[in-house]
Amino acid sequence: MVEKCLCEAGEVLIFPCSGGSNCGQIANQAAVQLTEEGIGKIYCLAGIGAHDSVMIETAKAAKRVVAIDGCSTACAKRTLEHAGLLVTDYLDVNEEGVEKVHDFKLSLEDISSIAGKVRERLVRQ
């Protein structure tokens, strides 16, 4: 039996890095996959960084704020925290064993693995 997060997609907002490396793009694609599965909803990190008040208030109302960063620079997490948001769930793609390179030949296996690890964290808590 597969456990499922008890939160609804609108209650779980996912903010991926989307940076300029394979790891940033894997973070983004994992967020897309989780959104398509109904696990959460990808949300606009750039809008948070721009301090859009409506986006920040929407994010503050979420039960779970998920940051998926590509590397230890932690741009997604730091952007959310800078805007006063509490990151409830965090994952760094590079720390999960994906080597950071600057090509964009993304591994579907890596994307699925990262999405799976985020999914597991959402189920556990």
DSSP string, 2-14: ----SS-GGGEEE
- The single-letter DSSP state of residue 69 is E
**pLDDT, tens digit, for every residue of 44-89?**
999 999 999 999 999 999 999 999 999 999 999 999 999 999 999 9
pLDDT tier, 1 (very low <50, low <70, confident <90, very high otherwise) = very low
Phi, psi of 64 (to 5 degrees): -130, 135
| 99 token code pair | 């080597």
Write down the residue that tokens 């932690």 correspond to. Answer: 74
DSSP letter (8 states) at residue 106: -
CA–CA separation, 4 and 29 (whole Å): 20
Domain residue spans in the chain? 22-120
What is the pLDDT, as a whole number, of residue 6?
44
Using alpha carbons, select from 91, 77, 73, 68 the residue that is nearest to residue 18. 68
Answer with the residue of higher pLDDT: 66 or 3. Answer: 66
* Average pLDDT over the chain, rounded to an integer: 91
Question: Cβ-count burial of 70 within 10 angstroms (0-12 exposed, 13-18 middle, 19+ buried)?
Answer: buried
